[in-house]
Copies of this chain bind each other. A is one copy, B any other.
Amino acid sequence: MNTGTEAPRRTRIQQEKRELILEAALEVFSTHGFRGSTIDQIAEAAGMSKPNLLYYFRRKEDIHETLMQRLLDTWLAPLRELDDIGDPMTELRSYIRRKLEMARDFPRESRLFANEILQGAPRIMPLLAGELKTLVDEKAAVIKGWMRAGKIARTDPWHLIFSIWATTQHYADFDVQVRAVLGPNRGGDGRFEDAARFLEQLFLEGLKPKG
């Protein structure tokens, strides 16, 4: 029985070329958005002709969809790792650090996601209200537990998570602005370490349990 959801068999060439296309599409989609990107652009970036690209992905949307599916898993991995077992302050610090590292190492993925959300998330809305909400609610409960135990200051766990997302992804999504404002000296490679130091201080001081 073919359910239509199982992964189709693929030759070695198909696997390689599909990866090539997805890599090129990530570059193009993340800087121009879905509607602002053309198949020609992606094909050229992947070093092949447009009909050839369409042999591997029949529609432009298929590329984007495949990209988004892969993205979400790796994107939410840091939050999944947030664990009830360790010390709350240590857990939060390493969550912030991991998210900031992702903004540094995978800025295109961050911008691709930001583009999708900015435009109303037309293609991933169900995922947000489903899988994502479930995960966040789950982690919010963990954080609430820490608050009840007096390990961190009482505050809104959901908005805490939002603020960590916002501040860390800012360094990927608004990178040009950050670099423009910091200037050539402070806007160099060291900006992520500066940001890490600042965010650590902000969140850890801001969340210290009160006497």
Contacts and interface: CB of A to CB of B under 8 A. Distances in A.
Interface of A: 31-36, 111, 114-115, 117-121, 125, 128-129, 132-133, 136-137, 153, 155-156, 158-160, 162-163, 165-167, 169-171, 173-174, 176-178, 180-183, 186, 194-195, 197-199, 201-203, 205-208
A202 B163 contact: yes
Contacts of A174: 114, 117-118, 162, 165-166
Nearest to A114: B118
A64 to B, nearest CB: 13
Contacts of A114: 114, 118, 173-174
At the interface, is chain A mostly helix, strand, loop or mixed?
helix
Contact of A117 (B155, B158, B173): B173
Contacts of A194: 156, 159
A176 to B, nearest CB: 5
B155 A201 contact: yes
A117 B177 contact: yes
24 contacts: A31-B118, A33-B115, A33-B119, A117-B173, A117-B177, A118-B173, A118-B174, A121-B176, A128-B181, A129-B180, A132-B180, A153-B205, A155-B201, A155-B202, A156-B194, A159-B198, A162-B170, A162-B171, A163-B170, A163-B198, A163-B202, A166-B170, A201-B206, A202-B202
